[in-house]
Amino acid sequence: MSIHEEVTQKAKRAKEAAYRLATLPSDVKDRALEAVARSLSERAGEILAANATDMEAGRAAGLSPALLDRLLLNEKRLEEMAASLRALISLPDPVGEVIAMWTRPNGLQIGRQRVPLGVVGMIYEARPNVTVDAAGLCVKTGNAVLLRGGSEAINSNVALARVAAEAAEGAGLPPGSIQLIETTDREAVNAMLRLREYLDVLIPRGGAGLIRAVVEQASVPVVETGVGNCHVYVDEFADLDMAVRIVVNAKTQRPGVCNAMETLLVHEKVAGVYLPMVATELTAKGVELRGCPRTREILSGIGAATEEDWATEYLDLILAVRVVDSFPAALEHIRQYSTGHSEAIVTENYSRARKFLATVDAAAVYVNASTRFTDGFQYGLGAEIGISTQKLHARGPMGLEALTTTKFIVYGHGQIRE
């Protein structure tokens, strides 16, 4: 069987499963989540053995310590995965909710009801926990899932997907609800990208290269979880102590993630006072600063920021810094370089706060808070599938609702159109 045939067969099986999953009551789905959670500890031995094979291959291939750490599974990480699944059980099931219903003058009663998307294709890299996370989110929302993980984690993913699928099916989910593409051949991804007949959505999770490839080549609709070149603008009317706390948090609390800040913009009227304050704290945390010429007049000894720096998502302890002439200049810089993820202003000025919120075109816009809050759990959504930087369907942190669509349900008593 060719790779294309294999992927198509699994996708077709997923479509079958999705049809039955769509009308499954919440209690059956929740029992399946509990069964998967339990299996993760009951079958920890076989999962960790598979992971050991991946770790060995990773070390032999010279993976960096950071990548090896992402790949590693242990009892504690399996427990965390199980805890995430149990957290899903306690969330309300979005499927079946009628979000609006109204009656037309002719008596037709029209409602919009939330229903599953159908089959979700998940294409992701390194971390094997995504296998279980994605499966859990899809089970909860009544979607079938077709998983395609990174080649470094292939043995771990095969073991996790097998354990999850067997537990879920044992608890009453239809066969095909959870499937993994077991070949690491790149051809399998190409096949997934074009299977419009069976896949309802693709969600790529990983580096910018993976996401770009999926977005550029897929004919299946994609929800893009994108790059975050996030800015904090410290206004002339900022509380400067607050601005130090926010900038240090946004840059250093976890620099390797998409909602971390990458460029600091400072109004010229406060730059002379503020930049030395914040630079001391940032430098103490090991942050390398790269400044515009005016920044370097104030902070002597730091490197120069180039055009490329303004456009870079470092995901590292590096910060580009620019002094701006005015509030409009800050808006203009953000407009030019923002990737539409998370943008913040620090100000005590009412009109500027409002103008920033209204004008900046991003998934999340903040006044006086750290960009690090852009997260499904921090927002209180109870779960997170990813953070969308596209505008269609879902934008910003995606909770369970992002894995649903709606249909119109119409109750009549014989109405015909005149």
d(CA 45, CA 23): 35
Write out the two tokens for 4.
Answer: 């294309």
What's the min distance (Å) between Cβ of 280 and its own copies?
17
Select from 38, 77, 86, 393 the one that contacts its own copies (CB under 8 A). 393
Query: Quick one: 37 or 243, whose CB is closer to its own copies?
Result: 243
Restricting to residues 18-47, which ones interact with its own copies according to CB under 8 A?
A: 19, 22-23
Q: Return the ∠ at Cα 364 (arms to 358 and 367), rounded to 5°.
A: 65
Q: Does 219 contact its own copies by CB under 8 A?
A: yes
Residues 159-198 that bind its own copies (CB under 8 A): 196
124, 310, 327, 366: which one binds its own copies (CB under 8 A): 366
Say if residues 234 and 349 touch (Cβ distance below 8 Å): no
Q: Which of 335, 325, 186 is nearest to 266 (CA)?
A: 325
Between 86 and 194, name the residue whose CB sits nearer to its own copies: 194
- Exactly one of 92, 170, 207, 221 binds its own copies (CB under 8 A); which one? 221
Residue 333 CB-density burial (10 A; 0-12 exposed, 13-18 middle, 19+ buried): middle
Contact 230, 255 (CB under 8 A): no
Of residues 58 and 340, the one with the C-beta less far from its own copies: 340
Least Cα distance to 261 among 127, 374, 125 occurs for: 374
Q: Residue 400 Cβ, how far from its own copies at the closest point, in Å?
A: 15
In whole angstroms, how close is the CB of 244 to its own copies at the nearest point? 10
222, 131 Cβ separation under 8 angstroms: no
Which of 123-131, 153-161, 262-270, 351-359 is the region at the interface with its own copies (rule: CB under 8 A)?
A: 351-359
Q: Which residues from 224-253 bind its own copies, rule CB under 8 A?
A: 239, 242, 245-246, 248-250, 253
Candidates 55, 126, 144, 223; binder of its own copies (CB under 8 A) is 223
**C-beta closer to its own copies: residue 85 or 211:** 211
Q: Return the closest-CA partner of residue 304 out of 315, 288, 317.
A: 288
CA-based torsion, 136, 137, 141, 145: positive or negative? negative
Q: Which stretch binds its own copies (CB under 8 A): 129-137, 227-235, 302-310, 356-364?
A: 356-364
User: What is the full DSSP assignment across 113-138?
Assistant: EEEE-SEEEEEE-S-THHHHHHHHHH
Q: Which is nearer to its own copies, 59 or 391 (CB)?
A: 391
For residue 225, give the DSSP letter. Answer: B
Sign of CA dihedral 364, 370, 374, 379: negative
Six token digits for residue 19: 């049809």
Residue span binding its own copies (CB under 8 A) among the ranges 182-190, 229-237, 315-323, 393-401: 393-401
367 is a contact residue toward its own copies (CB under 8 A): yes
Query: Which secondary structure element, helix H or strand E, spans residue 216, and what is its range?
Result: helix 208-217
CB of 106 to its own copies, least distance (A): 9
Phi–psi pair at 68, nearest 5 degrees: -65, -35
Binding site for its own copies (CB under 8 A): 19, 22-23, 102, 104, 108, 110, 115, 117-118, 196, 200-201, 215-217, 219, 221-223, 239, 242, 245-246, 248-250, 253, 335, 357-359, 361-370, 372-374, 378-380, 390-393, 395-397, 405-417
